Chain A
């Protein structure tokens, strides 16, 4: 690991100020320290935010939840309110990483974790995300874990989070604090950038901008599930995942909130797919049309071609599960 200055932030304002002048926040550190050992990330200064008062989960006035950025993945998954009202998020968290990692990984850090693309980690190989302008080794390399939607010719990395996929389906918003005290709220769609010409730029966050919380809207009615398809039964990243919230009324779908992991550089959501399903009676034909729409622009790069039919089958299966009672 390269040497770095270590500072323990006293409060959020100081943390934002210190990070704005070249520091990198560290919370759980489970991804950052891994990358620092490999010298993929080489921060000159670490701003330890673990002592900040961002570790609470509180109810909001409109019946939602405000999740402090430092709430661990374990504490969030186990929260009784979350398990009852937002089970898709609890399920997504429990599907991610290992017991040890969930005890350390935080809400804010999980959102900002980096891709697990093999070439991002391999400093001997070109990677536009790690070293802009050097090229993308993955497009013609070992890319079976990589993206089929939202890619560019410069990068086909996936965002690895399960948590963020469920948050995207739930319409969660991220609260941030900027250097100087300004705050803003961003949807997850707004937070993440697609790779385009600059895959090294992954979010709209400015230097020093600190995620302070994630706000969930009030619970919605309907069935929720998180389906994760992966190479082994536990402790593996998603090849394809679907976070689904579906509500039925009189045999018709009245709500279909769907987000996808493993397919794209950000948690993926497609409003057209949801519009197509809404108001319709469930059927395999309908679900396949939804998959057609979801995957119309999908592009495989050889080893990850299988993700396109896998995403279709996973979506159809999830929709069957979530509409099952109404079909009987």
Chain B
């Protein structure tokens, strides 16, 4: 069925089997292979993209459900020579090893920092009415939907903290 998506600012008209997940539409139909298929069941976060500014698992939603929506993938966040602050920080802080989870980590962290800026509380936020701080505990909790089998977590947290500091 016909599905219109705006991907990284570019309008795309796709004719898809309704079974096509947003992740498969990106990877197989548009050649945007930055978003990764890890578990394909919403458990690992490698497929994380932003839809209308919010991070979601692209593997657990159908492309046809997003007709008219704006999707941002890792390709829209930055490119060699024009990296986003988070991408720069992942490089400088060595926030990855094999790199497979990294696009999902960066998409997730990009949206997560917006969530903190908007004052969203998390499970580890003491005061539901206060402004959440960017502590290690907060970053770990908020990034728990992104697994890294190389276990680069300490440096991922450092990269996020560094990028957030530079933005502040």
Collect the chain A residues with CB atoms within 8 Å of residue B141's CB: 233-234
User: What separation, in Å, do the CA atoms of A82 and B57 have in the docked complex?
Assistant: 26
User: What separation, in Å, do the CA atoms of A84 and B19 have in the docked complex?
Assistant: 41
| Contact assessment for B123 and A95 in the assembled complex, using a CB-CB cutoff below 8 Å | yes
User: What separation, in Å, do the CA atoms of A91 and B17 have in the docked complex?
Assistant: 39
| Contact assessment for A104 and B144 in the assembled complex, using a CB-CB cutoff below 8 Å | no
Collect the chain A residues with CB atoms within 8 Å of residue B18's CB: 4-6, 46
14 additional A-B residue pairs with CB within 8 Å, beyond A99-B143, A100-B57? A1-B19, A3-B17, A5-B18, A29-B62, A30-B57, A30-B61, A33-B62, A34-B42, A48-B64, A98-B45, A98-B145, A99-B112, A100-B145, A101-B42
5 tightest Cβ-Cβ pairs between the two chains A and B:
A98-B145, A234-B144, A6-B18, A235-B144, A83-B128
Q: CB < 8 Å: which of B19, B57, B65, B128 contacts A50? A: B65
Closest to A26 in B: B65
A30-B57, A103-B54, A234-B140 known; A94 vs B123 contact (CB < 8 Å): yes
Collect the chain B residues with CB atoms within 8 Å of residue A91's CB: 123, 128
B83 at the A interface (CB under 8 A): no
A83-B121, A104-B61 known; A37 vs B144 contact (CB < 8 Å): no
| Contact assessment for B142 and A6 in the assembled complex, using a CB-CB cutoff below 8 Å | no
B120 at the A interface (CB under 8 A): yes
Collect the chain A residues with CB atoms within 8 Å of residue B123's CB: 91, 94-95, 234
Chain A 200-242 residues near chain B, CB threshold 8 A = 233-235
| Contact assessment for A34 and B56 in the assembled complex, using a CB-CB cutoff below 8 Å | no
B28 at the A interface (CB under 8 A): no
Interface size on A, residues (CB 8 A): 37
| Contact assessment for B60 and A34 in the assembled complex, using a CB-CB cutoff below 8 Å | yes
B36 at the A interface (CB under 8 A): no
| Contact assessment for A99 and B145 in the assembled complex, using a CB-CB cutoff below 8 Å | yes
User: What separation, in Å, do the CA atoms of A77 and B128 have in the docked complex?
Assistant: 10
Collect the chain A residues with CB atoms within 8 Å of residue B64's CB: 6, 48
Q: 1/0 per position for B62-89, CB-CB distance to A under 8 A?
A: 1011010000000000000000000000
User: What separation, in Å, do the CA atoms of A60 and B145 have in the docked complex?
Assistant: 35
Collect the chain A residues with CB atoms within 8 Å of residue B143's CB: 99
Output the least CB separation between B155 and chain A (Å). 19
A78 at the B interface (CB under 8 A): yes
Closest to A102 in B: B145
| Contact assessment for B121 and A103 in the assembled complex, using a CB-CB cutoff below 8 Å | no
User: What separation, in Å, do the CA atoms of A28 and B62 have in the docked complex?
Assistant: 10
Collect the chain B residues with CB atoms within 8 Å of residue A1's CB: 19
Output the least CB separation between A33 and chain B (Å). 5
Q: 1/0 per position for A1-25, CB-CB distance to B under 8 A?
A: 1011110100000000000000000
Collect the chain B residues with CB atoms within 8 Å of residue A101's CB: 42, 57, 60, 145
A100-B145, A104-B57, A235-B145 known; A77 vs B112 contact (CB < 8 Å): no
B41 at the A interface (CB under 8 A): yes
| Contact assessment for A94 and B122 in the assembled complex, using a CB-CB cutoff below 8 Å | yes
Collect the chain A residues with CB atoms within 8 Å of residue B98's CB: none
A90 at the B interface (CB under 8 A): yes
B48 at the A interface (CB under 8 A): yes
Collect the chain B residues with CB atoms within 8 Å of residue A90's CB: 121, 128
User: What separation, in Å, do the CA atoms of A78 and B1 have in the docked complex?
Assistant: 35
User: What separation, in Å, do the CA atoms of A58 and B145 have in the docked complex?
Assistant: 30
Collect the chain A residues with CB atoms within 8 Å of residue B21's CB: 33
Collect the chain A residues with CB atoms within 8 Å of residue B146's CB: 98
10 contacts between A and B (CB under 8 A): A8-B67, A74-B54, A77-B120, A78-B120, A80-B129, A94-B122, A95-B123, A99-B143, A234-B123, A234-B144
